[in-house]
Structure formats: C-alpha cells, structure tokens
Homo-oligomer: A and B are copies of this chain.
Amino acid sequence: MNIKPCIIGLGYVGLPILAELSKKFNVMGYDIDKKRINSLGLHYDFNNELKKKDLLKIKQKNLTDNYQHIKRCNFYIVCVPTPVNKNKIPDIRLLKDTCKKLGKVLKKKDIIVFESTVFPGTSEDICAPILEKSSKLKNNKDFYICYSPERINPGDKEHVVKKIKKLIAIPNSNIKKKVLNVYSQITKKIVLSSSIKETELSKVIENIQRDLNIALMNEIYLFCDKTNLNFNNVLNQASTKWNFVKYNPGLVGGHCLPVDPYYFSHVAKKNGLKTNVTIAGRITNEFMCNFVIKKIKKEINLNKSFKKSSDKIIFAGLSYKKNVSDIRNSLALKIYKSFQRKNKNIFAFDPLISSEKIKNSISSDDLKSIKNVKYIIFLVYHDIFKKIFKKINKKIKIIKFFDNNI
C-alpha cells in the first residue's frame, strides 16, 4: 500500500516534518489556522525556523484547513500544541478535538503517530478511545497508534530534526516497517520503543530535568545577589568538577519547560503521588519574574517625576529566549508589560518580533532616532544585539540580567 502522510498542526513541530517528508512523499499538511495555511502556501514561515529552500518544497495544493481534504491520507502525524491553562492544568482540548475530527476520516489500516508532548497515558487512554468512538474502528486492530516525541529546539540550528536521535514507540510490530519507512526520511537516528507510556514519560522528564536544573541555578543566583557574591565566578568554579553540569540561570519561558512539569505533576497527582522536586523547580523559575521586576524598580526609581519628564526606557529582547521570535510564555514580555502599562515612556525593541505583537514597540529605525533614552534594559540578549548596540550613548544606563546568558 502506498503511504500518504499527513501532518496535522503546522507549527514549530509539524512544519519541519512536513518539509522533510515533502522530499519523498506527496504529503498533506493540515492546520486549523487559515492564515498559517495561506502564508505557508506563499512559502513564508512567520516563525522564521525553516530555510526558504525547504519551504519551497511544500506544495500549496497540499495545504488545507479542511479535514475532508486529508481523508485520502493513511499516515497521520499529530503535532498540535498541548499547553496548560491558567491553573497550570494540562489543556489537551485541541488534541482531543483533533482526534474527534480525525476519527471521522479514519479508515482501516491507518496509522496515527502523536508527536505532541503529553502526560503518560494520554495517547492510549484518552486519544485512542476518542478515535475509536469517532471512527467506529478498533485501535490496534483496524488502526494503529504510535508515539514519537518532538525534540524541536527553536533557534538551535545545530540540533535540527534531521540530525538528532528520535524516539518512536511502536506497540504493534506489524506496522514497524511502514512507520520506519516514513520516519527514516525525517532522521536516520531512530530509537525504538515498544511502550507508548514509557516514551511519553521519557519526553516530559527531559524538560523537567532542564527546568529543575535552571531553577537550582536561579536559587543560587538569588543567594549570590543577596550576599553580593559573583554568581558567574561561583558557577565557573563549580564547573571545574568532573561531574558538574553547567546550566545557566534565567527567565524560563516558551512552550516546553514551563509546561511539561505540570503535565507530569498532573498525572502523578492522579496516581496519588506528589511531585515536590518537579514543582519546586517551577515555583522558583516563575518567581524569577518578580525578582527581576523588583530589581529593575530599584534601579530605575520609576516615580512621578520620571513620568513627568521626557526620559524614556527601552526594554530590548522580549522573546522567551535568545535568537527566537517566539513570545509564548515569555517572562521578558511579562516583565515589560508590567512596566509598560504604568508608563507611556516605556518602549519595547525586538527586531525578531513583529512590532504589532507588542504594544509600544519600536523599529530599528525608531531606535536610531529616539531621543532622551535614560535606560536600556536587556532581558534577552539576541546575538544580533552585539551589532545593533555596538555604540550606545554613554549617558544611557544599561541594565543587563543573567550576564552569563549574554
């Protein structure tokens, strides 16, 4: 049987897979967002992750926001976002909705690979039953599900999907050949698993480990700040031990680290377990936002006389981490907003982010002409800033956080 893949969800995760598979297969791409479909059809990726030549391989006629157009496909790769809600509870509504709609077009022998990050049990105990109900077919008899966690690292041009090891959990060995046929086009470094739940768990713990270790560095950073010790000296000295692993403190944002610990904690709680270690990391990383706000307030002394004066403050770098345009869960943006709403003299500058996305955002040209700037505050230091801020008027005060990231 001819394999006709379809990627569902064309964001940071789905788009690179679509581009890679387009080299070999006549692959369809579905996204709920018509704007995204249209701009990709014009070979434009507003996330700026893919190279033009890769975008050009994607055929406009293969992109759709309509499930009816993908019903002739037989190999679905689901890459929809799985965030948390305001109460930090996993919000898998989009994933459930995808399963419901996908079920309607599912046929016998179809294969579904989930790439979305989920808590262990989601694919088999939540998604599969929805697919079964909607399709009136039986999982692992009529259709088959697999799990392959995404390891996309936005802004990282080294660890691209083609070059990294990719896990695939294939519970039914009968479909192994077919799955490998597709995934070997994505990467040659495939690691197989037979348990979807184990692979789902392995994915969340990767990010939890990173989140927790950054949290520990933040805890040490806060101590150094309080006691006037030089954090970078401390970190560099500890790093001379053979088994110390260097992590940098900072503002943890994005769609993975601030989210995945809650996915694990959610399922652990359901099983009667507390995840004190995991959650302690989250709490500390979230606290850093207030810490930075307090530090800035102390530094700039933003009082009434400032409001009356024509002095201006520029917050430079607003994305969730350096060198990316992504502002999802960006603490830098959150910090900027907390100041901006109080004072019209406060501006945002980030050449990687479309100016309409951020209130009071200035362009590179504005930056050259803006007068009476008193402070530039760097929360995220993009590589491009080295060039842009090569010469800064000496009267302008610079505030930088987490120097080691800079």
Interface residues in chain A, defined as those with a beta carbon under 8 Å from any beta carbon in chain B: 120-121, 151, 159, 164-165, 167, 191, 193, 195, 197-199, 201-203, 205-206, 208-210, 212-213, 215-216, 219-220, 222-224, 226-227, 229-230, 233-235, 237-238, 240-245, 264, 267-268, 271-273, 275-281, 283-284
CB <8 Å contact, B278 and A234: no
Chain B residues with Cβ under 8 A from A277's Cβ? 212, 215-216, 219, 277, 280-281, 284
- How many copies altogether? 2
Given A198-B237, A213-B213, A276-B283 contact (CB < 8 Å)? yes
CB <8 Å contact, B120 and A241: no
CA–CA, A222 to B167, complex, Å? 23
Q: Which residue of B lies closest to A279 (CB)?
A: B280
Chain B residues with Cβ under 8 A from A233's Cβ? 193, 195, 198, 202
Given A209-B216, A213-B209, A226-B271 contact (CB < 8 Å)? yes
CB <8 Å contact, A237 and B278: no
Q: Measured between C-beta atoms, what is the minimum distance from A97 to chain B in Å?
A: 26
CB <8 Å contact, A229 and B151: no
CB <8 Å contact, A191 and B280: no
Given A193-B233, A230-B195, A271-B227, A212-B222 contact (CB < 8 Å)? no
CA–CA, A272 to B225, complex, Å? 12
CA–CA, A267 to B151, complex, Å? 39
Chain B residues with Cβ under 8 A from A240's Cβ? 165, 167, 191
Q: Which residue of B lies closest to A210 (CB)?
A: B243
Q: Which residue of B lies closest to A224 (CB)?
A: B201
Q: Measured between C-beta atoms, what is the minimum distance from A291 to chain B in Å?
A: 11
Chain B residues with Cβ under 8 A from A243's Cβ? 206, 210
Top 5 A-B pairs, shortest CB-CB distance: A280-B280, A202-B237, A202-B238, A165-B240, A276-B280
14 pairs from A and B in contact (CB 8 Å cutoff): A165-B240, A193-B233, A195-B230, A198-B237, A202-B234, A206-B238, A209-B245, A219-B276, A219-B277, A223-B264, A223-B275, A226-B271, A245-B245, A280-B280
Chain B residues with Cβ under 8 A from A199's Cβ? 237
CB <8 Å contact, A226 and B164: no
Given A222-B273, A226-B272, A233-B195, A206-B280 contact (CB < 8 Å)? no
CA–CA, A243 to B211, complex, Å? 12
The answer, among B195, B237, B272, for a CB contact under 8 Å with A191, is: B237
Chain B residues with Cβ under 8 A from A267's Cβ? 223
CB <8 Å contact, B165 and A223: no
Q: Measured between C-beta atoms, what is the minimum distance from A90 to chain B in Å?
A: 15
CB <8 Å contact, A159 and B205: no
Chain B residues with Cβ under 8 A from A198's Cβ? 229-230, 233-234, 237
CB <8 Å contact, B276 and A227: no
Q: Measured between C-beta atoms, what is the minimum distance from A272 to chain B in Å?
A: 7
